[in-house]
Structure 1
Amino acid sequence: MKAYLSSRRKYIREAISGYSFMMPFIISVSAFIIGPLIYAFIISFKDFSFLNPAASRWVGFDNYIRLFSDATFKRALLNTSIYSLFVVPIQLFIALMLALVVDSDIKGKTFFRVAYYIPTVTSTVAVSVIFLYLFKADGLVNIILSKFGIQGPAWFNNVNFALPSIMMMAIWSSVGNYMIIFLAGLQDIPVELYEAAEVDGANKFQRFFKITLPMLRHVAFFNLVMSLIGTFQIFDQAYVVSGGSGGPLDATMTVVLDIYKTGFKDFNMGYASAMAFVLFFIILLLTLIQRLLFKEETY
């Protein structure tokens, strides 16, 4: 009995010590993440403004129903979907190719790894400003095009070219991040597999499709999910390029930018919260679909 009580007291002391170490994290997460999420979910069912919280009123699902007839939100969702549809596969393909290059035996591969990764750690605002100058009507890109007899458009001020310009900027600035993850996956593949395949007469393409791609399946799934989440949350580039308006003619309006404008410019925080949760469920649904397609295993 004494041994049991002593063991029990030791277990309780260890539990108290463990939770004591965890308490700062639990408190901060509860105060800055879980609490605000619950509060945002509640006010998504209200006509709510932080300018006059006392005047808020319960509207039920009206905010969510209103989204189906909101032309700006539908345009923002369409822009974001198009942006994601093009950016995700292109940046992952380029990232994989770059990872293969820097994983090979080329000279100066350390330099190339750093060079490809630097845009990732550069501020998105700084990158956006740089691209604004490059893609001006009289910017460097149009000057180069004029050398070939091509009249370049005013990229970010043109309805047809504004969103593609942001796509190019996003691919250039984020591809290095996914390259590093692919590179880690490539270096985790046992060399013996390639040696055995080479002995069996497999060429480079066969080794790539039969060994490299299958072994990178979990890494590719991770990159795909992270890339999809990142593209659906695009805000900085669209805000800087359009000056926060989403123009021209809502050509660069994204869902997160629409949420920002609704909540912090129109001060309709209830409706903005409803937009945010719709975006959350869209991303969750797409992630689950990808999981099924990749048949991702549970570890």
Structure 2
Amino acid sequence: MRMMAENTGKKRQKYSKLRKQEAIAGWFFVLPAVAFWLIWFLYPAVKAISISFYHYNYATPETNAFIGLDNYIRLFHDPKFFAAMGHSFLMVLIIVPLQTLISFTIAVLLNGKIRCKGFFRSSCYIPYVISAVAVTIFFMYFFVKNGPATKFFSLLGLENVSWFASTKYALAFLIIVYVWQQVGFYMVIFIGGLQEVPAELYEAAKVDGADAWQRLTKITVPLIKNTTNLVLIFGMISAFQIFDQIAALSKQAPLGSPSGATSTMVTFLYQQSFSYMDMGYGSAAAVILFLIIFALSAVREFAGRRTV
């Protein structure tokens, strides 16, 4: 009995030592990512929040002063900020449902039994890895006056003008460019979700006489609900942060050109912080943007859990 107890004690010590070694190895691999997050995400976020309560200018640090909530009060009395906020919300309301629907449709088609499946998947994904600036410039050649795209849309009753230079169509042009580039990424996410659905369910549904539409709405859509929630949340966050396409569209003109038609909350805070050197005011706008994204993400997550 004594020997058995000693053996048991040795095994426990060995197991405990092994667990400690595994924990140390785990922290060793995780530590670089944690350090990266702390340095490049948490610290800038905390710094931005603190700066938002100051009149802050990197060029003239001697003028920096604590002003409390003045930047936020000024922000909510600034019509340009509300115009930028309106553009951001409009883009999100259009982009997120549109790219979700298109990417889901393509994913369903390319998840079936078709030839050259890999080629079509790669073709749809390639735009996502191309530079956003290059894609925007490429589309500008199609949407210039008398261009192929503008001629086509003129047949539908729209004006034959350069969309990217028109205050009326610039935002629509931006949405088209962005959705075209992002669809491939969300298609890949949807395909991953679709491949997790057991094939036996579709076979059983066929035996019961369910057609393709019934299988899609009664089996596919409910079983990839978590994937859809991920696409919606990630798509909303990304749509709020559009910047590269707007920068390419504005060229040498102020961000948000033409005449502020494509201004968003991101371009607004960028201009205030780096063009006008008013870091405190720009940081206040960044904090408001963060709170909006956080609140909408939380609502979407809560609604998704309630429907499970």
Normalised TM-score (structure 2): 0.88
Structure 1: gaps spanning 5 or more residues: none
* Distance (whole Å) between structure 1 residues aligned to residue 46 and residue 296 of structure 2: 23
Find the counterpart in structure 2 of residue 163 from structure 1: 171
1:219 aligns with 2:195: no
CA deviation vs aligned residue, 1:252-275 (integer Å, no higher than 9, x gap): 001111111111100011111111
In the TM superposition, residue 240 of structure 1 has moved relative to its aligned partner by 1.1
In the TM superposition, residue 85 of structure 1 has moved relative to its aligned partner by 0.6
1:69 aligns with 2:77: yes
* Distance (whole Å) between structure 2 residues aligned to residue 196 and residue 289 of structure 1: 36
1:187 aligns with 2:195: yes
Relative distance call for 1:15 and 1:64 in structure 2 (3 A) is: same
Relative distance call for 1:181 and 1:9 in structure 2 (3 A) is: closer
1:255 aligns with 2:275: no
Q: How does 1:241-252 map to 2 (within 5 A)?
A: 241-243=249-251, 244-252=254-262
The code of the aligned residue for 2:84 comes to: A
* Distance (whole Å) between structure 2 residues aligned to residue 14 and residue 294 of structure 1: 36
Relative distance call for 1:53 and 1:178 in structure 2 (3 A) is: same
1:142 aligns with 2:150: yes
3-state SS in 2 of match to 1:295: helix
Relative distance call for 1:49 and 1:297 in structure 2 (3 A) is: farther
CA deviation vs aligned residue, 1:90-123 (integer Å, no higher than 9, x gap): 1110101100111111222222111111111111
1:284 aligns with 2:285: no
The code of the aligned residue for 1:195 comes to: E
Find the counterpart in structure 2 of residue 268 from structure 1: 278
* Distance (whole Å) between structure 2 residues aligned to residue 10 and residue 284 of structure 1: 40
RMSD, aligned α-carbons: 2.6
Q: Is the 8 A contact 1:218 1:296 kept in 2?
A: no
The code of the aligned residue for 2:305 comes to: K
Find the counterpart in structure 1 of residue 59 from structure 2: 51
Q: Is the 8 A contact 2:133 2:248 kept in 1?
A: yes
Q: How does 1:88-99 map to 2 (within 5 A)?
A: 88-99=96-107
* Distance (whole Å) between structure 1 residues aligned to residue 291 and residue 162 of structure 2: 36
Find the counterpart in structure 1 of residue 134 from structure 2: 126
* Distance (whole Å) between structure 2 residues aligned to residue 96 and residue 12 of structure 1: 45
Find the counterpart in structure 1 of residue 4 from structure 2: none
CA deviation vs aligned residue, 1:136-170 (integer Å, no higher than 9, x gap): 12433234557899751221111111101111111
Relative distance call for 1:15 and 1:116 in structure 2 (3 A) is: closer
Q: How does 1:70-89 map to 2 (within 5 A)?
A: 70-89=78-97
> Greater CA deviation, 47-56 or 208-217?
47-56
Relative distance call for 1:242 and 1:22 in structure 2 (3 A) is: same
* Distance (whole Å) between structure 1 residues aligned to residue 14 and residue 200 of structure 2: 52
Q: Is the 8 A contact 1:45 1:58 kept in 2?
A: yes
